[in-house]
Amino acid sequence: MDSNGIRQFCVHVNNSNLNYFQKLQKVNATNFQALAAEFGGESFTSTFQTQSPPSFYRAGDPILTYFPKWSVISLLRQPAGVGAGGLCAESNPAGFLESKSTTCTRFFKNLASSCTLDSALNAASYYNFTVLKVPRGMTDPQNMEFQVPVILTSQANAPLLAGNTCQNVVSQVTYEIETDGTFGIQKVSVSLGQTNLTVEPGASLQQHFILRFRAFQQSTAASLTSPRSGNPGYIVGKPLLALTDDISYSMTLLQSQGNGSCSVKRHEVQFGVNAISGCKLRLKKADCSHLQQEIYQTLHGRPRPEYVAIFGNADPAQKGGWTRILNRHCSISAINCTSCCLIPVSLEIQVLWAYVGLLSNPQAHVSGVRFLYQCQSIQDSQQVTEVSLTTLVNFVDITQKPEPPRGQPKMDWKWPFDFFPFKVAFSRGVFSQKCSVSPILILCLLLLGVLNLETT
């Protein structure tokens, strides 16, 4: 060991005697301030405070939310099931650009009190906040430039305890989030499914949470990524494309839940595939006009389809590529009742289509679409709690096939002008059809003469 090493070793031994083998001082109220002033100082600093938040979300980053009512920043959560029973874990954050679906179960000791007090059952708790467009919005969350409101796209009612039933509890939550690269989240929408629970010991509820991400289309008319169902003609089994306010989407049908009630989720209408579906819709107390509007929206979906794409690659910016849907509503004058309400109970979507183009490569296109409603009348005083609804799709092929190029001979058919090969040899292409008989007769006579000579 050199002299520097011996010197460092001695210093270390001396320090160890001073620090480790001396009797520690007792800290009390009298010497606390003096010791804090002598030995105090910042030893650790918070990384969260010293580093500014990132400028944009990265894949997997937690999505930040802001509650303006309480000025609180939180996270968008997607509860997931944990353990053997699949209990809901509320601390599971939703990851940016991570589209996924989770399911979990909630058990209630006293559903009567939890019905209106548990925020997990209340629809408002899933949209009464805003989403921060980018993480740097944390520095100024009250700035509306960084806030993206959550748009409710389905019917949502507050929980209600009616007798032995807890009504309007949330059973499914679906978030649709549109992103625009490093510019962050541009649009957030949520649709909710609700159900009723019977108040009983050991009551439970299974909830589904769905998170979907897609690219933001600032101008759908100028978008190059509009959905397609063929190029150009429709392909059987692909979605039937609809258009509302320059927004293209797939036309849908009713879908029922396990108990037969109408679900927020809907079936896609597939081109060329006839389908039928139905469900039971629970009605609220409302006047006739609001009741009709609610049922119509349930039958045709939200938003109401206005146009249908003629071809499978129709551009929303080109109105000529879309045909308007013909609506045939129920006739109010058909009933002779002043205190009746005429409500729709069935919707038939009639689609006329045909093949066009070459026989070797025909392309399917839509010629016309009609919505045909059937209704029934109910008395205004009649207490109707639910109604059975039905939707069906009927595709009609109206292709006009051309006459086949070859068929059976007809009486008016004639031989072509130059059918006989002898004509060219004798006429040299300058004799008329009338003069073409003479060379044939001469040839026939010569052949007969040769045959006679051979026989003799």
Q: Tell me, letter by letter, the H, E, C secondary structure of 46-76.
A: CHHHHCCCCCCCCCCCECEEEECCCCEEEEC
* 172-195 pLDDT per residue, tens: 999 999 998 888 999 999 999 999
Mean pLDDT across the stretch 94-113? Answer: 92
At residue 383 the predicted structure's pLDDT band, cuts being 50, 70 and 90, is low
- Contacts (Cβ under 8 Å, ≥6 apart) of 89: 79, 80, 81, 82, 104
Cα–Cα distances (Å) from 211 to 86, 134, 251, in that order, read 19, 18, 21
Q: Write down the pLDDT at residue 436.
A: 52
Q: Write down the pLDDT at residue 303.
A: 87
Q: Write down the pLDDT at residue 10.
A: 46
Residue 248 has pLDDT above 80, yes or no: yes
Q: Write down the pLDDT at residue 319.
A: 87
Q: Which long-range contacts (CB under 8 A, 24 or more apart) does 353-360 make?
A: 353/234, 353/271, 353/272, 353/395, 353/396, 353/397, 353/398, 354/397, 354/398, 354/399, 354/400, 355/233, 355/397, 355/399, 356/233, 357/233, 359/402
pLDDT higher at 441 or 363: 363
321-334 b/e (C-beta count within 10 Å ≥ 16 → b): bbbebeeeebeeee
Q: Which is nearest to 110 in space by CA: 201, 205, 195, 197?
A: 201
The residue with tokens 């805003």 is 130
Q: Which is nearest to 104 in space by CA: 120, 123, 115?
A: 120
Q: Write down the pLDDT at residue 8.
A: 47
Cα–Cα distances (Å) from 40 to 31, 33, 34, in that order, read 13, 10, 10
Mean pLDDT across the stretch 215-239? Answer: 75
At residue 324 the predicted structure's pLDDT band, cuts being 50, 70 and 90, is very high
At residue 42 the predicted structure's pLDDT band, cuts being 50, 70 and 90, is low
Q: Write down the pLDDT at residue 253.
A: 93
**Range name among 111-125, 265-279, 322-336 with the lowest pLDDT average:** 322-336
Q: Write down the pLDDT at residue 429.
A: 47
Beta pairing partners, 167: 160
Cα–Cα distances (Å) from 394 to 276, 311, 349, in that order, read 9, 18, 6
At residue 220 the predicted structure's pLDDT band, cuts being 50, 70 and 90, is very low
Mean pLDDT across the stretch 342-359? Answer: 91
pLDDT higher at 438 or 50: 438
Residue 213 has pLDDT above 60, yes or no: yes
Q: Which is nearest to 213 in space by CA: 193, 191, 239, 186?
A: 186
Mean pLDDT across the stretch 29-33? Answer: 77
The residue with tokens 């099931």 is 81
Residue 372 has pLDDT above 60, yes or no: yes
Residue 299 has pLDDT above 70, yes or no: yes
- Percent of the chain clearing pLDDT 70 (strictly above): 78
pLDDT higher at 264 or 408: 264
> What is the Cα–Cα distance from 247 to 221, expressed in whole angstroms?
8
Task: Give the neighbor-by-neighbor strand order of the sheet with 307-309.
Answer: 247-250, 241-244, 307-309, 322-324
> What is the Cα–Cα distance from 166 to 199, expressed in whole angstroms?
7
Q: Which long-range contacts (CB under 8 A, 24 or more apart) does 324-329 make?
A: 325/242, 325/369, 325/370, 325/371, 326/368, 326/369, 326/370, 326/371, 327/370, 327/371, 327/373, 328/370, 328/371, 328/372, 328/373, 329/373
Residue 306 has pLDDT above 80, yes or no: yes
Residue 218 has pLDDT above 90, yes or no: no
- Contacts (Cβ under 8 Å, ≥6 apart) of 173: 126, 190, 191, 192, 193, 207, 208, 209, 210
Mean pLDDT of the chain: 82
Residue 46 has pLDDT above 50, yes or no: no
pLDDT higher at 144 or 48: 144
Q: Which is nearest to 148 in space by CA: 65, 52, 58?
A: 65
Q: With beta carbons less than 8 A apart as the criterion, state whether 241 and 249 touch.
A: yes
